[in-house]
Structures are given as C-alpha cells and as structure tokens.
Structure 1
C-alpha cells in the first residue's frame, strides 16, 4: 500500500481496512451529527431546561454579534485593498522586479506561461465567448497564454460541434496555444463532474507543455469556471505574487469572486444572495491562515502534476485540490489571497421559481464541501509530519464553519424564541422569560449594523444598470433589498447546508450539479 494512499480517497468504501472504513464513515457523519444534535437539542431543552437553553441562546447571539463586528472590519479592509490593487501597474512592477529571489528557475517575468482551463457543460455561446474575450482584454502578453476550452461528450455532438466551430474560428489565433478538448463520458473511476473534465484537459496540456519543452515551474495553472470574467490586470497581479511569494511552488492563489456578471438580470433575492457570497469571499481574503481555494483559482502547474491532478470522483474539487496539496507536501502548502477580483454569474433563470430552485441547489453543492472534513481529518491522522497546531486550527475552522452555516440562522431567527413557547408556566414567570425577547431584540438590532455596511458596499460594487437613466434609484432599490437577508439566511443558507450534511450523514452521496447559466447578450463590465 502506498505511503500516502489516503490522498485519493473519495468515499469510506474506498478504504480496504474495516477499521479505517468505519473511522472515515464516522467522519463523514460528523458534521450532520453535530448539526442535528444542536437543532434537536435546542428544541428539546426549550421544553425540559428553558433557562439553560435561554442562557445558551443569549451567549450564542452575543458570539454571533462579535463575529459580525469582526467580519465587518475585515470586509472594510479587504475592499480597500482591492481598490488599491486596481490602481497598481502590475506589469510595471514586474518590469522592475528583475530576477526573482524565491528559488524559481526564472530570470525574467516574461518566462512565465499561464495555462487557463475552462471546463464547460452546455453553457450558452454568449457566456463562453465573454469569458474568453476577457482573457484577451488582459494586459498580459497573449503569446504566454495557453487556453483550453474543455467540453463534455455528454453535452452531445451537435452542441459541441456548433459551439467549438464558432469559438474556434474566433479565437484560434488569439493566444500562444488555443485548443478545445472533449472529455469522454463514463470513464472508469470518474463521476460526471467538473473535476473529471478539467483533469482530462490538464493532462492533455501536460503532454503539450512537455513537447514544447516548457519547465512546469514556469507555468501557472488557472482553473476557471466557464462564467469567469477576469479583470485586465489579473495575470499581472497573479504573476507578481508567484514571483515574490516565499514558496511559489507550495502556494495556491485565490482571487475574490464577485458575482456581478448578470447581477441586474437576477431577481432581488438572488442579487442579495450573490452579494452575500461576494462579501464572504472579500472577508476571507483577510484571513490567509484560514484561506482555502474556492471555485476559480490559480496554482503552480508543477504542484498539480506532483499530486496526480485533481481527483475525478469528487464534487468539491476546488477545495479538494488544496487539501490534496497540503497532505502531499506534509503541511507545507497554503493559499495566498490576491486581493484582486474576478467576476462571475449571479443565479438567474428564465423564471423566478427556477431561479430559486437553482439558488438552493447551488448553495447545497457548496455546502457539500462538508465532505472535505472526513478527507483531511483522516489525512491528518495518517500524516504525522503536519504540526498538531495547524491540524487543530484547520479542523476547528472547517467544523465550526459548517456548523454555523447550518445552525446559526435557525438559532438566531427561529429557535431563539422557543423557550418562551415551550418552557411552560413556571418559565414564563421568570425574569429570563421577560428579558429574553428584549435581549435578543437589542442584540439583533445592533447586528443590523452589518447590514448597513453591506448596503454601503453594495452601492460601490454594483455596476451600472444597462440601458437605464435611473442609476441612483436602481442602486438604492438594490440596497433596500437587503431586508431579505433573514429569509435568505434560513431558506438559502441553513436549509441547503442541513440537506447536504444530512446526505453525508445517511451516506446518500451527491453528484455534481452544474449551475445553469442564463445571461442576456451584453458585455460584462467590472466595477470596484
């Protein structure tokens, strides 16, 4: 058995030893066990021990308030850094850099190639074209870009042929290398997922790069969702980070995903949801010790090759590749924030009902990242070279994060009032019964300051609404829609997370669900 056999685990059933299989299965169940124990315990104790649960709820809401203040501070700092980075001439900084001093076998920045893989499945031509056009609008030399559009055989020959013909004719001579791959369906050891398609394309790229005799250390790999629109300075910023970070071959690079491409075409509830997600990723940029890769990201191509590429049988491949590298390099791996934005699609479908369904499914797929907890904890138990301190910090952050994801909205907005209704006549006559609503109300009122800050940054991040003269009124209306937050937190944050964790708890594993893209034809413009 290989020393690091645990690097390729997807399910408990992949393990041969019964003891290891049972341990991994327990770790799969752990997020769901913690969540359901919390929720059912809160209901039961509201009846049996109303004073005890009232104290717990008050402590929890105060804890949540402190996190709101903490996150608001990080949001402000991150936004300011992002604005400052926009003003930087990254190519100018690269020209002044000279030979990197971080050990890379490079004398000048223009030796760096960028490999960009765009996996897709039935996305509209307009979405695909806009993403590739955004690569052309960047200021990085196009003769240093290798771009792969990765199609799926399961999308159908008619669809693939029509799209590849149009895209190929327009962009075939736009980059150093541009080609289209088609990932065969139903290959052994794979599930129908983005990771399978991307890995197929990345392996084809490895063959090409080897033929071109380009050292892997000189290639930065970018895994982009097909709706990713990069800013003009993205690759300059990324290259500068790669050449100046102390350990470039042990570092992934995470931009800030802002879900703004079609934000004015999305209904209000989806708009609020997309901004909530954008703000969360802005906040995470200021917590580099806790940062892991998400969605569109970049990394050393050599690291991708070293770990054997992304797993082809997992749903959350964007975060899994970070944990793969961390375990492969014995803890000597990290994600570095770029403080540079990319733009992606908000959820928008042909009808409001379909949009709501898509929002739920997308959030459930993201929440299914709880399935990474058994993977890396099992790896931590097997890999003795990673420091105990880092193991505990990363495990606590992941478990606490997924617990909050599922439980916090319900504890704050729903279960917090249960002791008053279930506590019985004895409890209703106590000072706790009288003060609980007042205390919760005041704390939640103070927490609304976080909403005010969210409205403030909504105003500055929103791009102009196309074909309208009432810009200020439209932006004001978008800010007012933040009153939907309590509703979205319960139905599009907590419920999908509980759903995902319950599936893991019961062993009902999810497949990969690609979010359908619906966007009217228009050029995507970024604002910061």
Structure 2
C-alpha cells in the first residue's frame, strides 16, 4: 500500500473509500437482517435457511478436504525426502538439489531464549546437509537481551550451519513496527550476506519463519524436492501446515479450540491450492523475494501482503504449493495461571485481531487488479472473490447462524404466529 503522503488528493479519496468499504459492507450485512425483519420477515427467514444449508455443505466440504490432507501428510512424513532428492536425475527441467541452500529468516522481539532455542534446534536437526542451511535472526537494534540470546544461539548451533547471521533492525522512521517491517529490513541484509557467500539467488530458498515455529525434520528436503523438480520453481511459494501444538495442553480450552480450528482450516486450504495464500511461515526462492520487492514496512499482515506482491510481480503466474508437512507453533499464551487466564485469552484476541488486519490488503489488491490487465479476467475475479468472501464471511456468518433465525420471530410478532414460522 502506498503511503498516503505520496498520493494525490483524488488517489487519497479512492484509497480511503476502499479502506472503508469492507467495514461498511460487514456492518450492512449484519444490520440488514435486523432492519428487514420488521417488514420482510418471511424472506429473511428463508435467507437464513439458505445460509444454514450453505453452512452444512461447506462444513462437509471442509471435512473431506481435511481428510485428504491428513492422508497426504501421513504419507509425506514417512518419506526420506533427501534420498528422493538425491534420486533426481538432473536435466534441463530438473536442477541439482545439492546446490539448494535454505536461508531461514526469523524476526523476533522479546521472545524467550528457551523458545528461540527450540526453533533453531529444529532447523539444525532437520535432515538436510548442514552446509546448505543458513539462519538469520532479526532483532531490534535496541533489544540488548535479544542480542544476548542470538549470541548464545550462535555459540550453540553456529558449527551446525553454513552461517548464522544476526541482523539488527534500527526501526527506521515511517514504518509500522511489527513482523512485516522487520522482514522488510532483514530481507535486503540477508540477500547481501548470501551474495557475499557467492550464492546464486536462484539456488537459495528463503523461509519466513515465526520465532516460535519448529520445522518438521523433513521440511527442507521436501521443499527442495518440489523446488528442484518444478521447472516454474522461481514462481512458486511453498506453504506448510501450521499446527499450534507446542503448548496446546497448557492453554485454556477456548484457546485450544481456536488453535485446532486454525490448523484444520489450513489443512482444508492445502487441499485447494487455488485458494491457498501465504500464512504465517512459508518459503520461496530468493529470486522471487527480490522480484516482489521484499516485504512492505508499512503494513501489519506481512504474509498475505507478500503473497499479493508476488502474485503481481509474476503477472498472476504465482503458484502456491502445499507442503504436506506440519510446522509446529505456539498457541497464544501468557504467564498468568489460574481458572480464568485473562491474559492468555487477551493474547488470543490480539492474535485474531492481527489476522483481521488482512483486510487492509483490499485497497492494495483492488487497485492493482485493475492495473494488471495482462492477468486473465477470470483469474483476477476468482482470487479477488475468494479474498472478499473470506473477509466478509468469517466476521458475519457466525453471528447470522447464531442469531439470524431468531430475528424474524422476535421482531415480527404477526408472522411468528403463522405456521410458516
């Protein structure tokens, strides 16, 4: 999203209208049944009935998708993917997998040493050659404790990696402080370090990794196999399945349900690559990172924004490849104990709120979809439709399903007494 100061007055008005539109449409969808029930009670009741049918069909579709993904995950976790890499026959379309270096970029702030230790240990323990793994941790320039943590990790794991880079983010003026800004600063620095090692940007796969996520032992080899054997590898983004299992049994029941639901939704999306968008932690070539212009430093949702930047940079040819392996993260948790766990629930709410900021992509995407006429109209309409539909339904459908059927009966007494009600 262009910073408002760089836009003309007319552009700022369009930008603001697009920013307001999702919220206005959401409130319209929520309020319309309430108002219309006074006059059109039978029609509102029928509409809610159709929504119930839709929800039933959607639930069945999601369950089937989760089941397919689960079966593929079970098969993928039994494979020795590095041996499969070595069995590849190099050809014009297949590159030598032994050339591929994985560079893991980890932004962090106030993350405890114990969590970072497990994150880096999972990378070091992964079944992939040590000389082909690079770790780069981004801390704030002012975060002295973070410096100490990275130094300890370098001493512990540096000899098990090709390189262990510490990037110190000065928090430049004009940024929106958060993960996206940290990645925006860290990306070019990491590129410089990799080029100093003599690496080709087409032989480097960059993984954007949350600081509490632990990669599966086969993750790097799996991605390498897919990357080396796909002739359109430079236009691929690889999305693993996040499972918030690291602390699942320590968090309250409601947080556990939310974490499991998020995992299951991502499993469903992995069965539908046409709907899959970058989420939380993902991988792509350094060449694609450069072509997309790195991450944006003035947004909150770094994952979906990077997806869209890559989509437009590749003129719509971007392919999101599901990685049928888990990547293990933490469910939101605070240090509080006891029955209520208010702080932990507040952390869960803040996480959902950060996800909701993905709606800020709407102005960015709307403007660029109109500009990129080289992308087929069908593809633009389909991807845009998925984005708008998802942002609207996850905020409105639960309320409509919970209260919608009761509104006509409560607000239109005459109709409530009829047999149709």
TM-score by length of 2: 0.96
Q: 1:306 & 1:330 partners in 2: Cα distance? A: 11
The 1:30/1:140 distance shift into structure 2, 3 A limit, reads same
Partner residue of 2:127 out of 106, 122, 139: 139
The 1:101/1:286 distance shift into structure 2, 3 A limit, reads farther
2:139 is matched with 151
Q: Does 1:190 align with 2:175?
A: yes
Counterparts of 1:120-135 in structure 2, within 5 Å, are: 120-135=108-123
CA displacement 1:394-452 (0-9 Å, x = unmatched):
1111111111100011001123211111112x11122231xxxxxxxxxxxxxxxxxxx
Partner residue of 2:68 out of 53, 59, 77: 77
Cα deviation for residue 101 of structure 1 reads 4.3
CA contact (8 A) 1:54 1:432 kept: no
CA contact (8 A) 1:120 1:151 kept: yes
1:423 is matched with 412
Unaligned runs of 5+ in 2: none
CA contact (8 A) 2:139 2:147 kept: no
Partner residue of 1:66 out of 27, 34, 57: 57
CA contact (8 A) 1:261 1:346 kept: yes
Q: Does 1:354 align with 2:319?
A: no
CA contact (8 A) 1:116 1:147 kept: yes
CA displacement 1:453-494 (0-9 Å, x = unmatched):
xxxxxxxxxxxxxxxxxxxxxxxxxxxxxxxxxxxxxxxxxx
CA contact (8 A) 1:47 1:422 kept: yes
SS at match of 1:432: coil
CA contact (8 A) 1:150 1:181 kept: yes
CA contact (8 A) 1:15 1:21 kept: no
Q: 2:108 & 2:59 partners in 1: Cα distance? A: 36
1:240 is matched with 225
Q: 2:22 & 2:358 partners in 1: Cα distance? A: 11
SS at match of 2:365: helix
SS at match of 1:431: coil
Partner residue of 2:254 out of 269, 281, 303: 269
The 1:43/1:33 distance shift into structure 2, 3 A limit, reads same
CA displacement 1:205-235 (0-9 Å, x = unmatched):
2112222221100000000000110111000
For this pair of structures, how many residues does the alignment match? 417
Q: 1:101 & 1:128 partners in 2: Cα distance? A: 40
Partner residue of 1:162 out of 127, 148, 163: 148
Q: 1:409 & 1:369 partners in 2: Cα distance? A: 19
CA contact (8 A) 1:10 1:314 kept: no
Cα deviation for residue 100 of structure 1 reads 4.8
SS at match of 2:160: coil
Q: Does 1:368 align with 2:371?
A: no
Partner residue of 2:26 out of 31, 35, 56: 35
CA contact (8 A) 1:241 1:338 kept: no
Q: 2:47 & 2:100 partners in 1: Cα distance? A: 54
Q: 1:288 & 1:69 partners in 2: Cα distance? A: 18
CA contact (8 A) 1:100 1:244 kept: no
Q: Which runs of 4+ in 1 moved over 6 A?
A: none
Cα deviation for residue 47 of structure 1 reads 1.9
RMSD: 1.4
SS at match of 2:256: helix
TM-score by length of 1: 0.77
Cα deviation for residue 137 of structure 1 reads 1.4
